[in-house]
Structure 1
Amino acid sequence: MNIFKIIDEIQEVDGDAVERLQHATRRSFMTKFSRSMAAAAVPVAMGTIFNKAYAFTPGAIDVLKFALTLEYLEDEFYKMGNAAPGLIPDKYKAVFMQIGKHETQHVNFLKGALGTAAPAKPDFDFTAKGTFANPFGDFDMFVFLSHAFEDTGVRAYKGQAGNLMAKEDEPLLDYALQIHSVEARHAAKSRDILSTIRGIDRIKPWITLDEGSPRPVYEGDNNTIQGGVDITGIAGKSLDAVTEAFDEPLTKDQVLAIAKLFIR
């Protein structure tokens, strides 16, 4: 992450931003946050600065709290999975360690942005009250839930982007869309691994109909309605092509209904 580039981009959005960031000139910023700072801590630092410098709208604060609940879930899932002895084969350990690091960074950024308004981490039950018997003893189940959570994250951020369009929320929108793209890469990798371990070529890194669908977590992968219009058959495209080309956003209530399956 290029800190100087971030500061420059913030100024393009708001010409008074650096002045309002108190001491965040290039020199003083790097004095306060030394060059030796771990990359994982950068989102916390930026979140703290944003929290002090910007008066986010109430709607944006609500979005951040909602996003943090979902990131708590993903972060805890990977921490438990990466710590489970014998769960992840050696060839995939680096993948899930890196995904776990990303989720921790997302949590730290959102907590930094919210400050004292950050909600506490819930207590999670990744069996979903017994629906998934052994998520940290069965690698197939672990990968299945990984792609379910990551797909949900992609749709959640897509669904909330429109609520961060106010002028004072624009820096948050930039970061939300960056997190969205990372979640999408996670989802693609988890789907690819699921295809490999199950030996099912129809499960792609992208969504194709409901191949590899994370039922009962989510049952809408074969959706063909976009913007209220059924696009089946448009330009003679197949159902496969239609479901691959579009991915529906989820509302806050829809995402929380999924998350609550795993909250005690």
Structure 2
Amino acid sequence: MNLLNVFEQINTVDPEFSDRISPRREAIKNLASVSKKITMAALPFFVSELFKKAYGATAPTDVNGVLNYALTLEYLEAEYYTMGVAKSGLIPSGKPLGAITTIRDHEVAHVNFLKQVLGNKAVSKPTFDFTAGGTFGNVFSNYDTFLAVAQAFEDTGVRAYKGQAGILLGNRVVLTAALQIHSVEARHASHIRQMRRARGGAAADQKPWITGANDTGIGAVVNPIYAGEDNVKQAGVDITSLSGSMGKISASAATQSFDEPLSAEAVLNIAGLFIKA
């Protein structure tokens, strides 16, 4: 992960970002140097602290900032599926290859749309490392790993759009477009989950919706993507205190019935693990 790369993207939508952390640009470079001494597992928390220093509890709140935030995620997904489809022998032919190709085309359409809307304010596409520094070293040689990472990306995307919808309330046209993309990302997430389930093995119990805080079978490495999904309270109501058709609603059903948003900081931390210089 290259912190300067992340900083440059944020500076595009907030030119005062560097000054929020330190009045000296050199301080940012020093922080990036320090980050080389931090373990991969600690990086998300390190970046999170920087965002807190820069913005308090919030990320940039302008419409262009949100759109560029979305564009970065769409760049990531479009590039991932483009590389996957192009990798000979990775994806089984027939319906699996057809499905991934269709998802690729959707993500490319999202990228092109967001770039068109942003015009010359659109951020450039980062250079991605889909192994996340070696965590997923066989991502383009093992189909099950490819699907697992795809699921992580799609679940992140759904929660990311949900988390920023409120900022777009003042712009009905942009909000409508964002919600249209959001629902497609949700369909992608569900379909990828079903594709994993069809593979059997560790993913045999995978459901098309999220249950609890990490139901992927991928391991703790994706815990940040599902943080908060085990919430059973909505608008102050404990869903497990309500009655269903067979008694009290279970915690699993409560978490499945409501999807949770992710903050911009959390999403940028997750995406940053797949961005390199």
User: Does structure 1 residue 70 correspond to structure 2 residue 82?
Assistant: no
Q: Which residue of 1 aligns with 2:7?
A: none
For 1:260 and 1:69, locate their aligned partners in 2 and report how far apart those are by CA, in whole Å. 10
Structure 1 gaps of 5+ residues are 1-57
Structure 2 gaps of 5+ residues are 1-60, 243-247
User: Does structure 1 residue 112 correspond to structure 2 residue 119?
Assistant: no
User: Does structure 1 residue 247 correspond to structure 2 residue 262?
Assistant: no
Q: Which residue of 1 aligns with 2:169?
A: 165
> What percent of counterpart residues are identical?
47
Amino acid aligned to 2:98: A
Deviation at 1:195, TM superposition (A): 1.0
For 1:193 and 1:75, locate their aligned partners in 2 and report how far apart those are by CA, in whole Å. 19
For 1:250 and 1:222, locate their aligned partners in 2 and report how far apart those are by CA, in whole Å. 10
Q: Which residue of 2 aligns with 1:208?
A: 211
Q: Which residue of 2 aligns with 1:262?
A: 274
Q: Which residue of 2 aligns with 1:132?
A: 136
Q: Which residue of 2 aligns with 1:174?
A: 176
TM-score (norm 1): 0.74
TM-score (norm 2): 0.70
* Structure 2 SS opposite 1:100: helix
CA RMSD of aligned residues (A): 1.9
Q: Which residue of 1 aligns with 2:34?
A: none
* Structure 2 SS opposite 1:149: helix
Q: How does 1:1-264 map to 2 (within 5 A)?
A: 59-91=62-94, 92-166=96-170, 169-199=171-201, 200-209=203-212, 210-212=214-216, 215-217=220-222, 218-220=225-227, 222-227=229-234, 229=236, 231=238, 233-235=240-242, 236-264=248-276
Distance 1:114 1:124, change over 3 A: same
* Structure 2 SS opposite 1:63: helix
For 1:263 and 1:106, locate their aligned partners in 2 and report how far apart those are by CA, in whole Å. 19
Which of the pair has the greater relative contact order for Cα pairs under 8 Å at 6+ separation?
2
For 1:227 and 1:117, locate their aligned partners in 2 and report how far apart those are by CA, in whole Å. 37
Deviation at 1:219, TM superposition (A): 4.0
For 2:164 and 2:130, locate their aligned partners in 1 and report how far apart those are by CA, in whole Å. 25
Instruction: Say if 2:229 and 2:259, in contact at 8 Å, map to a contact too.
Output: no
Distance 1:227 1:62, change over 3 A: farther
